[in-house]
Amino acid sequence: MIQIAKVILKENIKSRIKNGHPWIYENEIEKVEGEYESGDIVDVFYHSMDFLGKGYINNNSRIRVRLLTRKNIKIDKEFFVEKLKKILSIKSKLVKDTEGFRVVFSEADGLPGFVVDKFGEYLVIQIGSLGMEKLKPFLIDALVEVLSPKGIFEKSDYAAREREGLEKFRGWIYKNGPELIEFRMNGLVFYADTLGQKTGFFLDQRENVRLIKDFVGGKEVLDVFSYTGSFAAHSLKYGARHVILVDYSKRALDVANMILKKNGFDGKYELINANAFDFLRKLYKEGEKLFEVIILDPPAFAKSFEDRRRAYRGYKEINLRAMKLLKEGGTLVTASCSRVVTEQDFLIVLYDAASDAKKKIQILKRGNQPPDHAPTLNIFESFYLKFFIFNVDSEKLLAIQ
């Protein structure tokens, strides 16, 4: 029998680990006993030699071990089948009116380095760590057993893989499927683009996007950072007069075009392939075109704590300009998906933008992550999405009210 290496933690480690966080940093480890290779499963013990759990180890990562379980059980296909069943028993009650949802949300769902999105009868997965890469055969078998998909596409094409010593990869790994996977969500038809961004579609805004319903009827809407047009399609479904979509990805706009056509919104939208910062700056300088609703759903501007200041500047700039491009009493729909920017930070940035724009902004709706992306309080990194709908008024008008 192969002996599993033992990782023994230091005595005075933070309570984080004891309280449910799955990451063990290199400087929290006292010693490792036994042979192992990066990516292998190891047994983890407290300094007292009490058993803590099992996880996978990687010498190339500062997060040396990620725990998969706190029980002393085998990590095999059955282990993942049980995990998936448990996750689905919760999510199936909470996720409604959609053929697209996140089956596995990595750490928050107890499976570090693993993401699974379901679109119709297909699955798109992402593997972000060497340990999970080694467990891939079990993961695939478990997914097939529990969900019986028509096909599984792996979209492990993001930069974080390199830190784990992994190559990027993209392709069908179980049966086959279309390049654009069709699915229904909120009564609309969408495509997850297997050659697009992330898993092909941003399911995390699925519930927030419904919150725009009462604000867009009969309105001219600007959807900035549109990707494949989820906010645009919802705006039109909820009665918007016309939508302008802006994205610097030509491919995203091509797919948006197909989605909007498919839903019967021909002639009600315009696609603009541009850098959002330049576009907003230009409109602002021209000072003519005013919108009734502006949606800002940018990518994460900061990936690390060190980048935070740059992210604040980015958020401030686009929100400030949007506030100025809105008609009196207009609606600003604004989001941040940077994990390192807290809700409090984001609100302060918005407050700053409003002060400079001389606007009063009132929060009419707020949103965050839907239950299939539910954050786990014990793992604060799993909180990332902030979403607000503001009414934007000018200070001058308030003064004479």
Catalytic residues, by residue number, are 337
The span from the CA of 5 to the CA of 55, in Å, is 11
Residues 195-214 that bind ligand SAH (CB under 6 A): 197, 202, 205
225 binding ligand SAH? (CB under 6 A): yes
**Alpha-carbon torsion, ordered 227, 232, 237, 242, to 10 deg:** -150
Name beta bridge partners: 246: 224, 272
Binding characters for ligand SAH, 233-272, by CB under 6 A (x = yes): --------------xxx--x--------------------
Interaction of residue 230 with ligand SAH, rule CB under 6 A: yes
The yes or no reply on residue 315 touching ligand SAH (CB under 6 A) is no
DSSP assignment letter at 195: T
**Quick one: tokens of 37?**
């290779």
Measuring CA to CA, which residue among 180, 190, 129, 159 is closest to residue 300? 159
Q: How far is the CB of 382 from ligand SAH (least distance, A)?
A: 19
Residue 389 binds ligand SAH, judged by CB under 6 A: no
Residues 282-311 that bind ligand SAH (CB under 6 A): 297-299
What 3-state class would DSSP assign to 104?
strand
Q: Determine which residue in the list 77, 277, 303, 340 makes contact with ligand SAH, applying CB under 6 A.
A: 277
CB closer to ligand SAH out of 136 and 184: 184
- Residue in 196, 107, 89, 90 with CA at minimum distance from that of residue 153: 196
Q: CA 111, CA 83: separation in Å to the nearest integer?
A: 8
- Is 275 an interacting residue with respect to ligand SAH (CB under 6 A)? yes
Q: Which of 56, 122, 227, 388 binds ligand SAH (CB under 6 A)?
A: 227
Cβ 236 to ligand SAH shortest distance, Å: 14
Residue 170 CB neighbour total at 10 angstroms: 12
Alpha-carbon span 207 to 152, nearest angstrom: 25
Contact 116, 204 (CB under 8 A): no
Cα(12)–Cα(10) distance, rounded to whole angstroms? 6
Cβ 224 to ligand SAH shortest distance, Å: 7
Q: How far apart are the first and last CA of the chain?
A: 80
**Does 317 help bind ligand SAH (rule: CB under 6 A)?**
no
Q: How many residues sit in the footprint of ligand SAH (CB under 6 A)?
A: 19
In the complex with ligand SAH, the residue whose CB is nearer, 202 or 269, is 202
- Based on CB atoms, which residue is closest to ligand SAH, 225 or 238? 225
Residue 276 is a binding residue for ligand SAH (CB under 6 A): yes
Contact status, residue 353 vs residue 320, Cβ threshold 8 Å: yes
Q: Closest distance between ligand SAH and the C-beta of residue 170, in Å?
A: 17
- Chain residues in the site for ligand SAH (CB under 6 A): 197, 202, 205, 225-228, 230-231, 247-249, 252, 275-277, 297-299
